[in-house]
Amino acid sequence: MFTKRHRITLLFNANKAYDRQVVEGVGEYLQASQSEWDIFIEEDFRARIDKIKDWLGDGVIADFDDKQIEQALADVDVPIVGVGGSYHLANRKLPTRSLHCHR
């Protein structure tokens, strides 16, 4: 059976340890689930952020603690998963769902 491969863009800062861990977690998920995703990670996406709508693919997983990323994605028409510690702020422009993990 032929299934569509989804093109997913990851927008994270590789200089931040937390962002690297998120990217690693996405990779572990893909390996464990055998999902049909093609992952796109641009080393310096800020150089092309003005044309972001041209290269997003089918969905985005992004660092929403980075205001520039959040603003660039504010009016795109693909599913977005925003990751970060400030997702609970009331002034967010995008719809959010929060997941609270208790250990």
94 has pLDDT over 70:
no
List the domain boundaries for the chain.
6-83
> Do 88 and 98 meet the contact criterion of CB atoms below 8 Å apart?
yes
The domain 6-83 is placed in CATH, from the list 2.60.120.10, 1.10.3720.10, 3.20.20.70, 3.40.50.2300, at 3.40.50.2300
pTM here is: 0.74
β strands within 12-98, DSSP E? 37-41, 59-63, 80-83
CA end-to-end distance (rounded Å), the chain: 40
Rounded (10°) CA dihedral 59, 65, 69, 75: 70
The helix or strand, by DSSP H or E, that contains position 7, with its residue range, turns out to be strand 6-11
pLDDT in tens, 49-84: 666 777 778 888 988 888 888 888 888 888 888 888
Answer whether residue 87 shows pLDDT above 60. Answer: no
